[in-house]
Every structure is written in C-alpha cells, then in structure tokens.
Amino acid sequence: MPDIGDELAALFATPPERPAVLLDRSTLDLYSICPYQAWAIECGGVVDASAPADSGTEAHKALAAAIEAVIDGPPADPYALARVAGQMSRPDVQPDVLDAMMPAVGSLVQYLRYVPVAGRPWRNPADILRYTGGGGERAGQLAWDILPATDARGPVRLTSEVDLLVAAGALSEMEETDFKTGHTWYKLADVQHSFQFTFHAWLLFRNHPQLETLRVRVHMTRFNRFTGWATFGRDRLADYEGRLLTALRARDLALRQAQQDPLGIKTWPGEPQCHRCAARGMCPRLTAPQWRLMQDPVEYAKAALVIAEELESRRSALADYCRDHPEGINLGDGLYYGLKTRKVAKPTKASYGVYTVDAGDVVAESDGDPS
C-alpha cells in the first residue's frame, strides 16, 4: 500500500525547473531580417558558414590576445602576441586573418593605454571591463532572461558577446567597440540602427544597473578606420526590448508554422538580405507556385527579386565550374552550357551561357580566367 505521506509530498512538491531556452544574438538577428531564412538556418536545413566568417572568428581571437596583453602589462607585448595569435590561426584562412587584424592593433593598443580618462594621462587597465574571450568578470559573454518560464518551457534567455567594453569618464558611462574584420564599410547610422547593437545595449543595461549611457562604435580593422560613437540610453530601454520581443514573436510564429507547412513561413525579401541569404535556394518564393502579376503585383515583384538573386548566384557558380571544365556541360539535344565564344581574351560571368553544337559555337580551352 502506498504511503500517504509520499503521496502528499508528491502532490505539493515544486515542479522541476525547465531548462532555459537559449537564443544567441545572431539567431534572433536573422528573425529580424527574414523568418524563413532564420528558421532554415536554425533547424539545420542549410549551413550558414563561409571562409570570411571563419577568418573573422580567428581575427577576433588575435585582437583579444592584444587586449589581454595590455591588461597584463609589461613584459607582455600586445603587438607581438597579436601577430603570433594571427600567425597561429587556421592555415586555410591565416593570410586573410593577418590582413584583417594587424592594421588595427596599433590603434587598439593606443586606445586602451593612452586615451586620457578623467584627466589622467593614461588609462587604467581596470577600465577594460569586458572583452571577447575574457574570463571571470571580464567575460565578454552576456545573458539575461527576456521572458519568464511557463508551464510549457523554461525562461527565454538571450545571449551575446561584446568584443570590447571600456569604462568611460563616469560610472554611468561605458564604451563598446565592435571589431568588423570584413570589407564592408560601416557608417554611424549603421551602428545606431543595428539590431546587433540594440541587442547589446539591452543586455548591458540589464547586466549593469549603474549604466545610463552606452556609446558604441565599429572598428573596421582591415582599414583601421572607425565609425563615430552612436549613443544608446537607458531611457530608451523599452524601445530596445520591444524590438527584441518583435523578433521573438517572428520566431515563435515561424516555429508554429513549420509544424504545419514550412513553405508557409513568412519571407521578407529585399536588399541586401536576399543577396546574403544562405537559404535562398530553398526559399518558398522559388519553390512554391508563383503569384500572378495582375493578381498581386507586389508579391510578384518580391518573388522576382529572389529569383534574380538566385539566378546570379547560379551563374557565378556555373562560371567557376566551366573555368575548370572548358569542355562545358552537355545538356543534351545538342545544347551545352559553357563559354559561348572563344573570342574573349578574359572571360567574365556574362561570357558563359547556353550554346549549340550545330551553331558552330564549340570552343577550345580559354587562356583567360572568369572573374
């Protein structure tokens, strides 16, 4: 016979805590760009990876080595340690890593050592609050629960990592520098309106109750150039949180729709999101029945945008393939895809297309490379 005491204990026991739902900034950022793209990447339908992204990760590690050397002080040499870290990065991306991070090391060290703060001739290493790869209290990784737990799930916890956070002239002021190691040129407006920095501001205001003003800039390390400082204030915390909640809602709707029909997940085509989309090849606007022009010209035009981007991507891939296979691709019925004419000194993507054998367009191997 069961013990009545055990039954009562089970009845009034506190239910076990559900694990938190962890969402990093890059995942939620994608849902603010296009729900279908975000869902396809989050569920593993496509892999969003590239050599430039891998190079950027390695370059960030090398810059973190310079920051750590500044904190440690002499005899640590931030220039030497940063270079060694870059030299020891992944061999496939190492040359690009050095190109991306070495031009910025001097300015980074000067900012961390010599920029006067509150009348002092140099900066105290204690002013370096957080950085990517940092440990303990200096960890760049941040987290905060934006939604409480429910009966169905644990709390929704947002996470992200800041590249560099430094104390400013007052306890209520901080400065965030974000390293961008690619070739994109950023402007002040890009920083001010960025989902990434809205996300970071929300996390920093939540984790640092004394913080009232956050100034953020982008350091374009490859060119050693900076944007101006964009200002984020605690008085706009509700605005920042609203933007994050809207992205969370887009994710929730996408996950619900995916259980019924993934092709029904919302797509938000436009520039530059379609150009950069890793999931463009499986986008519903390519695979689902298309809209009729007179029935819905807006949706028809949006679908055309996605199709055009995918076509350009495939033309580039075909040009690269045909460069290594000058005989072209036999499509059958006398049709080939390849270099349409051999009368081109330096073929470009436009030099490749469909041609016929009967038309006398069979070409010999070209001496030029397609760009």
Tell me which amino acid residue 322 is.
Answer: C
Query: Which pLDDT score is estimated for 15?
Result: 59
Residue with tokens 């996950």: 255
Q: Is the pLDDT of residue 147 over 80?
A: yes
Q: What does pTM read for this prediction? A: 0.78
Query: Which pLDDT score is estimated for 120?
Result: 66
Tokens of 31: 């849902």
> Is residue 369 very low, low, confident or very high in pLDDT (cuts 50, 70, 90)?
very low
> Is residue 342 very low, low, confident or very high in pLDDT (cuts 50, 70, 90)?
low
Write the DSSP symbol of residue 229.
P
Query: Which pLDDT score is estimated for 163?
Result: 98
Asked if residue 44 lies in contact with residue 68, where contact means CB atoms within 8 angstroms, the answer is no
Choose the weakest-confidence range: 46-60, 125-139, 292-306.
292-306
Domain ranges of the chain: 21-247
CA angle 148/152/157 to nearest 5° reads 35
Query: Which pLDDT score is estimated for 303?
Result: 74
Looking at 3.90.320, 3.30.450, 2.160.20, 3.30.70, the CATH number of the domain 21-247 comes to: 3.90.320
Q: Is the pLDDT of residue 2 over 70?
A: no
> Is residue 331 very low, low, confident or very high in pLDDT (cuts 50, 70, 90)?
confident
Residue with tokens 């089970």: 10
- The secondary structure of 36-103 as a DSSP string is HHHHHHHTTSS----HHHHHHHHHHHHHHHHHHHHHH-TT--HHHHHHHHHHTS-TTTHHHHHHHHHH
* Per-residue pLDDT reduced to its tens digit, 69-108: 999 999 999 999 999 999 999 999 999 999 999 999 999 9
